[in-house]
Amino acid sequence: MGAVNCPVCVKCAVAFQRQRCGIAAELMAADLSYQLYLADLWECPSCHLEIVAGFGVMPIAEHFHKDYERERKKQSEKLLIRFWGSVNDKDNGLRLMKEEAICPL
């Protein structure tokens, strides 16, 4: 069984299935990369909704580390998702990225 410790799709009432382990997830602060995490990509087998869950307790790199950009480039070889803490933060970050001609993922 093993479905107790995995996400459940509210719409379909079935457990998500893990598609990939250890994808890179980049937490943004406005238009700047702030922290890098490893997490898992999950998919509902019924409606195919995808989510990212199972984040590590600590980030694998933070913006103030001297090797942050190198680690960011290294992790970008994996599936990389950028995410913000809220819808407002995302809207502001994407607006700034557009103004600065930074292409979001």
- What pLDDT digit, counting tens, does each position of 7-61 carry? 999 999 999 999 999 999 999 988 888 999 999 999 999 999 999 999 989 999 9
- Sketch the domain layout of the chain as residue ranges: 8-99
Q: Which of 47, 56, 59, 50 has the alpha carbon at shortest distance from 7?
A: 50
Residue 40 forms beta bridges with which residues? 53
DSSP state of 6: S
pLDDT tens-place string over residues 1-15: 455 688 999 999 999
pLDDT at position 11 is 96
What does pTM read for this prediction? 0.79
CA gap 98, 89 in Å, rounded: 14
pLDDT tens-place string over residues 67-90: 999 998 888 877 688 888 888 888
